[in-house]
Amino acid sequence: MKFLVPMLWTAWSGQLAQANIPWYNFNLWFVPIVEMITGITLAVGFFSRAGAVVVMVMMLVATYVHLVLDDPTLFPLQPENPIIPLITLAMAGYILWRGSGAWSMDLKSTQEEHECPCCGRLINGTYTESGSKMSICEDCFNSQKWGRRRWCPVS
């Protein structure tokens, strides 16, 4: 957004200058590019924990900038208090703690074809419930999830 909207670019430039962030010219271009790349990787769930660490560093700096600066014109579309950086920091902390989820590229890239220990079918996937990983097929997972339990060596 900083590249596309001139008002945001001007505010970003002013934030860097008035908060005395080092390497002004480097950070003016580097940080928005890293923000876009990190946002895309988090959206698809690729290297999510590493992306969460990058976001946490960015949001700590954003919180610092919010607390140091008193000029409300440097924060268009945002409240003066660091509400958005702190919420984003908490969300990144959650991703760092819990991982990227069942639909992420991180999980899909680590899945291998294996045999379901319940019914013996070949499956390629892992079904999760409350963060625990179970390497069973969808039918066996659903029969356990909804209380229609049958014998299964995994349970």
49 and 124 co-located in one domain: no
Q: Other C-beta atoms within 10 Å of 2: how many?
A: 19
pLDDT band at 145 (very low <50, low <70, confident <90, very high): low
- Answer yes or no: is 151 within a domain: no
SS (H, E, C) 107-147: HHHHCCCEECCCCCCEECCCEEECCEEECCCHHHHHHHHCC
87 and 12 co-located in one domain: yes
Measure the N-to-C terminal CA separation of the chain; round to a whole number of Å.
Answer: 49
- Mean predicted lDDT score pLDDT of the chain: 78
pTM of the model: 0.66
What pLDDT digit, counting tens, does each position of 75-134 carry?
877 777 888 899 999 999 999 988 877 777 766 655 566 666 667 776 665 544 444 455
User: Measured on CA atoms in the order 89, 21, 18, 26, is the torsion positive or negative?
Assistant: negative
Q: Which domain holds residue 120?
A: 111-145
- Answer yes or no: is 103 within a domain: no
Q: Coil, strand, or helix at residue 56?
A: helix
What pLDDT digit, counting tens, does each position of 6-17 carry?
888 888 888 888
User: Measured on CA atoms in the order 60, 64, 65, 71, is the torsion positive or negative?
Assistant: positive
19 and 53 co-located in one domain: yes
What pLDDT digit, counting tens, does each position of 48-75 carry?
899 999 999 999 998 998 888 888 778 8
90 and 115 co-located in one domain: no
